[in-house]
Amino acid sequence: MTENGPIKVLLVDDQPLLRMGFRLILEGEVDLHVVGEASDGNEALKQVEALQPTWSSWTSACP
């Protein structure tokens, strides 16, 4: 947890099942909050600008 509250996480992967799995794991942590998901790089950049996540997880194969 940061001094400003939980760490805001953006999940980026082109596989919905993988994003869902990561979300389920991360939502079990009190100091992490999944603020959004994106399925490609363009969508992720829009989400980063809109949601201002503290951290993002990207797959290397994401278009």
CATH number of 48's domain: 3.40.50.2300
Residue 52 belongs to domain spanning: 7-58
Contacts of 7 (CB under 8 A, 6+ apart): 1, 31, 32, 33, 54, 55
- For residue range 8-50, list pLDDT tens digits in order: 999 999 999 999 999 999 999 999 999 999 999 899 999 999 9
pLDDT at 52 over 70: yes
Confidence of residue 58 (pLDDT cuts 50, 70, 90): confident
What does the pLDDT read at residue 4? 78
Q: How many domains does the chain have?
A: 1
CA distance 8 to 39: 18
CA distance 14 to 2: 29
Average pLDDT, the chain: 89
- Is 1 inside a domain boundary? no
